[in-house]
A and B are shown apart, each in its own frame.
Chain A
Amino acid sequence: MLTKEQIAQRIARELRDGMYVNLGIGIPTLVANYVPKGMTIILQSENGMLGMGPFPYEGEEDPDLINAGKQTVTILPGGSFFDSAMSFGMIRAGKVDLTVLGAMEVADNGDIANWKIPGKMVKGMGGAMDLVASAKNIIVAMQHTDKAGNSKLLPKCTLPITGLRCVKKIVTDLGVFDVTPHGFKLLERAPGVTVEEIRAKTAGRLVVEGDVVEMSF
């Protein structure tokens, strides 16, 4: 099984030089720690910044400089600030190459639910609906099952939808999956995890073709 860090590390292998990338809160944020050496990735933070850098050194926090998770951050040379309308303008117009976000549920047709649990949790969608409706390439980073052990890869989302048919790829603690017209296609297994275990923990349609490679780190 992959740790959260390894999920992020695996997603980082999808990065290509020059990509503009939006990373969601949680595991997606960790992807920034694994950008391959020599590669330039420009991080977009939807509260209005391109070129987001690491956390500031202690004592250098600036309340006017935060990321979309409200954490104090820095800006890298060549970065820029803009207002929220322009920020979502560049998202809607497809200028952001890759979006990585977390999810509560993903359906085998690419539908995603990650903003509301009726009667329990009402935090709001933030920028998630805008991102999933427009991003060219969406990778979901999440645990394969919920705390009770139920699959989060479903035939159909049960929670309120964030966006329809938008997820392209999923990296969980158990494996890497492409969303295809036939369902979740298993591309890679986490070290020590069998296809049978993945099959047992995947409620949606699962496509397994030939030998599935085991990831290495």
Chain B
Amino acid sequence: MNKVFKNAEEAIHDIKDGMVLMLGGFGLCGIPENCIAALVKKGVKNLTCISNNAGVDDFGIGLMLKQRQVKKMISSYVGENAEFERQLLSGELEVELIPQGTLATRCMMAGYGIPAFYTPAGVGTEVAEGKEVRNFNGKDYLMEYAFDADFALVKAWKGDTMGNLIFKDTARNFNPLMAMAGKITVAEVEELVPAGELDPNQIHTPGIYVHRIFQGINYEKRIEQRTVRKRD
């Protein structure tokens, strides 16, 4: 068994036009920077991207939008990206906006082998259009389906050669959920270690979910909103 790839280019070599991709991260926090750079370089098109956000104009998924590689975005919040908003309002880009908890749970369910679930989020709103509504104990819920993605691209803090992953702080966000959900999951890590070096008690994503792993390089880790306080 060898899950270890040399770099992002090799790990995503078989991503093709028209595929459905999941990309981890919240805002620019915990995004698979190396995989995105490789996708931009590779130039694959007509992609459907499932990601909570769409990056900013010149970083993250924004780089793929700029090159018109994305046919459809499935996201919960896309507010920080002017190019995204322009493509959306002009109809060039197809967008499905869904509640954040629904997005997260649709990823999780794919990894848990559960085809659908019921959630109260979106009842009585545009999000409910065309969806089954069912009442449990006097409250209405919408049926939402598990996602079906060709590839999940995630970023972890540490990983080992078996594909086990550990995330750091709020860079965890959607990453472990998407890691569980891809038909093929590619994990890029800040630190790749030999199997046995990570404490099995501390693993967030067991290696069974991760098909490919590589040591990431040159992380920019851009901060979207730098907020600080003065020392007293």
Contact = CB atoms under 8 A, between A and B. Distances in A.
A83 B99 contact: no
B125 A129 contact: yes
Contacts of B103: 84
A84 B177 CA distance: 8
Contact of A55 (B99, B224, B227): B227
B104 A87 contact: yes
A60 B49 CA distance: 33
Contacts of B173: 47-48, 83-84
A92 B170 contact: no
Interface size of A as a range: 35 or more
Interface centre among A57, A59, A64, A87 (most CB of B within 10 A): A64
Contact of B226 (A61, A134, A164): A61
Interface residues of B, number: 60
A85 B27 CA distance: 16
A64 B170 contact: yes
Interface string B80-109: 100001001100000101111111110110
A73 B229 CA distance: 10
B175 A71 contact: no
Interface stretch (A138-146, A155-163, A168-176): A155-163
Contacts of B41: none
A88 B77 contact: no
Nearest to A59: B228
A133 B141 CA distance: 10
A78 interface: no
Across chains A and B, which 3 residue pairs bring their CB atoms closest together, nearest first?
A: A88-B101, A130-B101, A123-B79
